[in-house]
A and B are shown apart, each in its own frame.
Chain A
Amino acid sequence: RRPPPQSGPEGWGLGGGRRLLSLELLEEAEDLSLALLGTGLPGQLPPECRELLVGFANSSVRLTGCLVRSARPVRLCQSCYRHFQSVTEQLENITRAVGNSSESNCAKSLLMSDRVQLVVILSQFFNSTWKTANCANCLKNNSEGLSNSTIDFLDLFNTTLMCFERNFQGQAINFVPSNHTEVCRNCSQTYRNLNALYNKMQKMTGQGSDSEHRTPLCIDVEDAMNITRRLWSRTFNCSVPCSDTVPVIAVSSFILFLPVIFYLSSFLHSKQKKRILILPNRIQSNASLVNIQEKYS
């Protein structure tokens, strides 16, 4: 009644796999015994709910595995969106079960009958991760696949990386650390295209909201771009901007010099503004003035 424990699509070493397999079998046995134990009593979890729970467990295991495996380099959205979708579906099944059968209220017993509420915590974690990564941005509207622009971008990204690889290998033989002119020359066009596409995508996402809270692109695209840029300007040292220090210094010192002239000339040529003093008339003998001065000196 539950799918056989599956090994991941790729990656596990044989030994580790076997250990994990045995662990999983053990868990399953425990599940079964608990389920059998519990069915008799009215307060225990009904079997259909248990089924839902196990379904959620399986899908979240798959999603977690996928997330961790595609953490570096970031491939979250590309590789895990199906898993994420299935987790969402499972959760929906649980919540929707409320209406179906009133006597076996699965949602209530699974989602809110204890303090920890593990299912909720897990689903919140998945959701927030998905949101932080902003995967929705590079998926189609109904989350059924990568959006066209993302696919284009990833294609171009792969091309660029290939170009880098091709040109770099030629140079790696006579290893000169800073001089990668060949890479720079040959791949410049692809790199520029990639950059332009990235900027275009950025602009498109930023259109809806205001400038302060721009929604970022999805993490896959961002990370891919970051990697490329770092390779391009740090490793290959390709972006060498022209620095024209002399004219900048000349112009700025000219501007900085202007106020000096201004203040000097206004000091020398402008007539100082004078105030005309006015004698107040009041009954005040000289004696009292002296008096005050004595008092306070």
Chain B
Amino acid sequence: MSRPEPDAEPREAAAPAERPRPGRMANVAKKVSWSGRDRDEEDEPPAAGETTPLLNGAGPGAAGGPPHSRPFTHSPFLRLGQLSSVDLDDNVRELETEAPNQFPSEIPHSEKLLSLKYESLDYDNCENQLFLEEERRINHTAFQTVEIKRWVICAMIGILTGLVACFIDIVVEKLAGLKFSVVKDNIDKFTEKGGLSFSLLLWATLNSSVVMVGSIIVAFIEPVAAGSGIPQIKCYLNGVKVPHVVRLKTLLIKVCGVILSVVGGLAVGKEGPMIHSGAVIAAGISQGRSTSLKRDFKIFEYFRRDTEKRDFVSAGAAAGVSAAFGAPVGGVLFSLEEGASFWNQFLTWRIFFASMISTFTLNSILSFYHGNPWDLSSPGLINFGRFDSEKLGYTFQEIPIFIVMGVVGGILGAIFNALNYWLTMFRIRYIHRPCLQVIEAMLVAAVTAAVGFVMIYCSSDCQPLQEDSVAYPLQLFCADGEYNSMATAFFNTPEKSVVSLFHNPPGSYNPMTLGMFTLMYFFLACWTYGLTVSAGVFIPSLLIGAAWGRLFGISLAYLTSGAVWADPGKYALMGAAAQLGGIVRMTLSLTVIMMEATGNVTYGFPIMLALMTAKIVGDYFVEGLYDMHIQLQSVPFLHWEAPVTSHSLTAREVMSAPVTCLRRIEKVGTVVDILSDTSSNHNGFPVVESSPDPTQVAGLRGLILRSQLIVLLKHKVFVERANLNLVQRRLKLKDFRDAYPRFPPIQSIHVSQDERECMMDLTEFMNPSPYTVPQDASLPRVFKLFRALGLRHLVVVDNHNEVVGLVTRKDLARYRLGKEGLEELSLAQT
């Protein structure tokens, strides 16, 4: 679309990754006569396009799609697919002529969209000749060195993740301690003299000003650091390149943001962000350089590609889980659960190593910090404390009770998710400006403080003061030597509240307090998740669950008139597990995480039952919180399998067509034009045999990526220059790795007029054996191949090995099993 004349200079109007918005179109329209997507010219007759020599055949509607549609005749490009069948072409034409009346159209955001912003990772290794050469050059010992380097990197990932976790933990403890002591002194002062409303104001202002800072850095500097980061990492492990997600800047913002939001008293935890932090650390270390800091340490150059990087990111995520919960096995299983299709045994073992190192580092540093070196008793950021299995054992009769708790957790989790869904939708539609987001976060912080204060104020539940049970005992209206028991829940960091709900002796909370707390905290946590602050949802869920679980336990003890087995702490744990399972719907990894965090294998079975029931019940209503947010972000996420009822769809219906192909020996001008075409930001181009005769069969020869082409253009690897011996050296794989991961945009590469006439030989650089499927392959078959191999492009060929279409992630991700059977999502510009 709007392709310039061959002699026109390359456009610099818009970055290729971005589609021109109406505002920008003016810029482009100066140079080209007509633009199909310009809404002002929507009513222009489509025939105009057909008569224009440059645009013949390719209607404006067709041009909107990611595959660039090509002119049919007298064009330098090859038009593939036109030979396959005549009536097919007619169909295409029909659609194309209808298109301008329907598109472009604007719709409000909904979950049934796929954003163009997200691209795939190149997980598939490109086995071109350079790669083979390098492999031949490196001998056996060098490969062993690479293996050793992998272990070293994993160890470093573990250590650094542990250190970051320590940093967060210590700073949060210090700052929160400072805040609570200031507010406590103030409250104590005003309790005697009167004027408690000032304490309330002080608390609310402190909270919202801290949260304001946390929200500003997220909203204005790095919006991808918002939230827990688990959905983003899930997407990354799934194979989606989420922009900026593994940058150093994101890590910094994430760490500061999470500290500020926890100190700001929001209903959030610092555990989820640890996973994201671990992932960023892994991605950074494995590359041996920082593109943001412009520092290259010249190490680990072998790992500069998506395949290796993603393996390390899964190690980093595992290390993050392990540091957050003290659950190394849980961390490994988390990575397994989220990225399982690209898995092998050695990788698992390495990831386990990274997890162990991470929890060990955290443990030893914290043991020094707490003044008992090498005690190694705090393996994670949250420590559920010891559950004495003798006292808190469970009996066979209790199993139905745990299942009932699972059902409750599932229902509550579904309500939580449904509420959060509406809220998030509202936020995406209306609160999209950064300053509004900051204000919202501040308001939530202020309200959280106000609600907490009012609850504490109204509560008359006083408990005798014990030395080490309460960190910041608030007396308020209680008698001297007693403290307000509501305050232990609200006037504390959420982690501490969870632990006190688990472990405080029976009778520490009265049922009224717990009921009110559950209700309030449920809404607060639901409201908080999705704000533009970096914060996790694990701890709030655990807290809600622990509160109602404890309530459950107390009522059980009341009903059975104080039976020995009805210990509220045990039920608090089960409630926490059920609630968390009902909200996030993770199964295997969550069970193991809970088991490891409690340090009690006996509880494995009841926790598993509770989680399982919660997931089954919850899935009946809505899906998990993370999946929901992934959908709302319009990420092309590939689930485990294709929708069950999709066998009748064939690759022919799924694929994008026609495809922009390159010839094996292609003119530079053509390549530049294709790459700088703003209407299509394709990343992979099938390479076909270059034959002068257009009627001859042009079989598929390979696949080349945009990034490779850009590197080739940058180094001016042209046939003519090679013939004139102008090229000093042959291009090596290293040149491609050096450019990774931020390849320069095509606009930054200058190609002179003479050079446009040169030819490029792509044979050496293309992937000579791309994966292909026949046209009749069913969707589940294509899906399986795509998902299991982590592909980015899957070429659809006909019987003569001619390219008829290309299947990309978005083509597969758009089929989804909805309420009324199979649904198709639409692509949208976000």
List chain A positions with a Cβ less than 8 A from chain B.
195, 209-217, 222, 225-226, 229-230, 232-234, 239, 241-245, 247-252, 255-256, 258-259, 262-263, 266-267, 270, 272-286, 288, 292, 295-297
Contacts and interface: CB of A to CB of B under 8 A. Distances in A.
Contact of B480 (A239, A245, A297): A239
B67 A212 contact: no
Most chain A beta carbons < 10 A, residue from B106, B481, B810: B481
Contact of B443 (A233, A248, A258): A258
Interface string B458-480: 00000010011001000011011
Interface string B801-826: 00011000011001000001110101
Given A249-B454, A279-B102, A281-B63, 16 more contacts: A241-B192, A241-B477, A248-B454, A266-B436, A270-B430, A272-B429, A273-B430, A274-B108, A274-B109, A275-B829, A276-B106, A278-B826, A281-B67, A281-B92, A282-B65, A285-B91
Contacts of B820: 296-297
Interface string B526-559: 0000000000000000000000000000000000
Contacts of A248: 196-197, 200, 453-454, 457
12 contacts: A233-B479, A242-B191, A244-B194, A244-B195, A267-B426, A273-B428, A275-B113, A276-B19, A277-B105, A278-B826, A278-B827, A280-B811
B830 A275 contact: yes
B739 to A, nearest CB: 29
A281 B62 contact: yes
A212 B468 contact: yes
A252 B449 CA distance: 9
Nearest to B63: A281
Contacts of A234: 479
B479 A274 contact: no
B440 A256 contact: no
Contacts of B197: 244, 247-248, 250-251
Contacts of A280: 64-66, 656, 810-811, 814, 826-827
Nearest to A259: B443
Contact of B467 (A216, A263, A270, A277): A216
B432 A242 contact: no
The interface centre, meaning the residue of A195, A230, A279 with most chain B CB atoms within 10 A of its CB, is: A279
B23 interface: no
B450 interface: yes
Interface stretch (B47-55, B266-274, B645-653): B645-653
Smallest CB-CB A-B distances: 4 pairs = A296-B821, A242-B194, A281-B65, A216-B467
B450 A272 contact: no
Interface in B419-462: 426, 428-433, 436, 439-440, 443-444, 446-447, 449-451, 453-454, 457
B46 interface: no
Interface string B500-541: 000000000000000000000000000000000000000000
Contact of A283 (B92, B436, B822): B92
Contact of A281 (B191, B192, B657): B657
Given A259-B443, A262-B443, A212 B471 contact: yes
A283 B827 contact: no
A279 B468 contact: no
Interface string B94-129: 111001001111111100010010000000000000
Interface residues of B, number: 94
A280 B805 CA distance: 13
Nearest to B440: A262
A53 B309 CA distance: 72
B193 interface: yes
A276 B104 CA distance: 7
A213 B99 contact: no
A280 B108 CA distance: 19
Nearest to A205: B467
B655 interface: yes
B107 A277 contact: yes
Contacts of B192: 241-242
Contacts of A273: 108-109, 428-430, 432
A251 B652 CA distance: 64
Contact of B657 (A211, A241, A283): A283
A26 B91 CA distance: 116
A278 B468 contact: no
Contacts of B21: 276
Contacts of B430: 266-267, 270, 272-273
A177 B450 CA distance: 37
Interface in B173-215: 177, 191-197, 200-201, 204
Contacts of A270: 430-433, 436
Nearest to B824: A292
Given A273-B432, A285-B91, A279 B200 contact: no
A131 B3 CA distance: 86
A156 to B, nearest CB: 16
A273 B632 CA distance: 14
Nearest to B807: A282
A31 B87 CA distance: 116
A258 B447 CA distance: 9
Contacts of A225: 481
Given A252-B200, A275-B828, A283-B92, A213 B105 contact: no
B88 interface: yes
A105 B637 CA distance: 77
B61 interface: yes
- Of A213, A263, A274, A275, the most chain B CB neighbours within 10 A belong to A275
A217 B107 CA distance: 67
A210 B91 contact: no
B694 interface: no
Interface string B647-682: 011001111111000000000000000000000000
A229 B99 CA distance: 83
A281 B64 contact: yes
